[in-house]
Structure 1
């Protein structure tokens, strides 16, 4: 039985519904200025992440390990590791960075947003756009031959596509399906943007606190000028906070921020592709028409490959 169209409860107002998150990323990933600003953190658990079962992105891990490894190798060739370890300096950089993040973001959703961002940064999508198009085309074939209920036994790995498939099988109105999936897409992308902003805040603050730690060390060094033998070691310790700040910012935080920005764009394309395909399936469009429409999301090279495969 078709479950009608949208009721007034389903028509989301500006105070509840999130704006399209990818606009914020393409315009400026920081300092998002929406006509109305919903509280993203208050809605962090409304929808599950679509990366729950995604495989690990080895590129992120390899990059971070390689950067720290080269630095450690250079330190090893030049002297002792012990000379580059100073607990107070680490405390200033890490503690100061965490403090700035807590000030800039609501504490109630800080850990959730950071966890979602971290999961997205260290995972990769199991399904490519080409695979999504092929899967949606197969779904359209099933619906044409068996009707919407035929999708009940159709297996789908992608969680977002699986949600759309189930809504078609349940007979929901196309407008309601589109509205619901678009809202979920927007909220998920917004959560990724918030996670990226947290890493950007940490990346911005780490060098600053590194400099603050260096200034603190210099002040302490100048207070002991009566003993010239302590000036060299004290100066070395003072400079360590700058090193820690630069490493944390440029090896961890800022690369993850950029990775999340790229992830937002990829997820926006994939999920919009899914929404268009699901709505067209619900509107009983032909599989070939749906396939040709969705191919427009692909780069020219991948379009040519799909045309050859067809």
Structure 2
């Protein structure tokens, strides 16, 4: 589970409820009609904007923000270096047996293309095409939640306008003006909460996850092509480390140093 998402939601609810209770009664911020206008209107408008399948898949993507993805660029580089050592010692055909221990479908496909003797440019084209379509699917889902973040405040404003119209119809009763105005503004509050507490943060988290996955696949493509070109494993390692941030690069170097020390101790 992604602890940051859970903590963020719990903290947000806690601070919002605390602020409301400090200012007054919780019930004064609850209005069923406003919920129907904002939530119902936002969902209806989103359903109009997207085909049913994409609409449902994008809604289901909310679970991804709670999922702790196992995307480890350092581990991927280590796996590629292991494959390069196998190819250097036993030849490219020996990589076919190594694919039995590879769980990542993208990496496995690339290795099998190399084993089949596919032209390097064609290998790059196939893998980059698949990566591009993965990124497009990710962008569609991100766009859905960004669209929610745009629609919710708009529907909040629509609810406010409806409330103002109702208020103006009862202007002959001064006592009803305050409560009517309060209800009118609640829809704006709901729309802002949906946008800024849910939709936009979800889109941001999905964008980060997508960037991490695409980076990992770029590392795999470059590593596989280097293996096919017969480059030295040490050269491949240094080339792939260029994709990493300084922190990740240092962590990888520390891990390799620790592993080397353990191997010497066992020897």
Query: For the residues of structure 2 that align with 1:230 and 1:179, how far apart are their CA atoms?
Result: 67
Q: CA deviation at 1:219?
A: 1.2
Q: CA deviation at 1:276?
A: 1.0
Aligned match of 1:145: 89
Pick the structure with greater CA Rg: 2
Query: For the residues of structure 2 that align with 1:109 and 1:210, how far apart are their CA atoms?
Result: 25
Aligned match of 1:242: 188
Give CA deviations for 1:249-308 in whole Å, capped at 9, x if unaligned: 000011112222223322221111111112222333332121111111112343344445
Aligned match of 1:64: 9
Alignment match of 1:127 (pick from 40, 58, 71): 71
Aligned match of 1:286: 232
Q: TM-score, normalised by structure 1?
A: 0.73
Give CA deviations for 1:161-185 in whole Å, capped at 9, x if unaligned: 2333344455544333322211111
Query: For the residues of structure 1 that align with 2:152 and 2:69, how far apart are their CA atoms?
Result: 30
Alignment match of 1:109 (pick from 39, 54, 74): 54
Alignment of 1:292-303 (within 5 A): 292-303=238-249
Over 6 Å off, 4+ runs: none
Aligned match of 2:156: 210
Query: For the residues of structure 1 that align with 2:247 and 2:146, how far apart are their CA atoms?
Result: 33
User: Does residue 92 of structure 1 match 2:37?
Assistant: yes
Query: For the residues of structure 2 that align with 1:215 and 1:57, how far apart are their CA atoms?
Result: 39
Residues 71, 213 of structure 2: 8 Å contact kept: no
CA change 1:274–1:305 in 2 (3 A) is: same
203-212 or 161-170, which deviates more: 161-170
Query: For the residues of structure 1 that align with 2:176 and 2:253, how far apart are their CA atoms?
Result: 72
Alignment RMSD? 2.4
Give CA deviations for 1:221-272 in whole Å, capped at 9, x if unaligned: 2212333333332222211101101110000011112222223322221111
Query: For the residues of structure 2 that align with 1:101 and 1:306, how far apart are their CA atoms?
Result: 44
Query: For the residues of structure 1 that align with 2:228 and 2:62, how far apart are their CA atoms?
Result: 35
Residues 71, 212 of structure 2: 8 Å contact kept: no
Q: CA deviation at 1:157?
A: 4.0
Query: For the residues of structure 2 that align with 1:219 and 1:208, how far apart are their CA atoms?
Result: 17
CA change 1:70–1:200 in 2 (3 A) is: same
Residues 210, 242 of structure 1: 8 Å contact kept: yes
Q: CA deviation at 1:59?
A: 1.3
Residues 146, 203 of structure 2: 8 Å contact kept: yes
User: Does residue 156 of structure 1 match 2:75?
Assistant: no
Query: For the residues of structure 1 that align with 2:188 and 2:114, how far apart are their CA atoms?
Result: 56
Query: For the residues of structure 2 that align with 1:271 and 1:282, how far apart are their CA atoms?
Result: 16
Aligned match of 1:26: none
Unpaired stretches in structure 1, ≥5 consecutive residues: 1-55
Q: CA deviation at 1:113?
A: 4.0
Alignment match of 2:179 (pick from 218, 229, 233): 233
Say which SS state the counterpart of residue 297 (structure 1) adopts: coil
Aligned match of 1:48: none
Query: For the residues of structure 1 that align with 2:228 and 2:193, how far apart are their CA atoms?
Result: 51
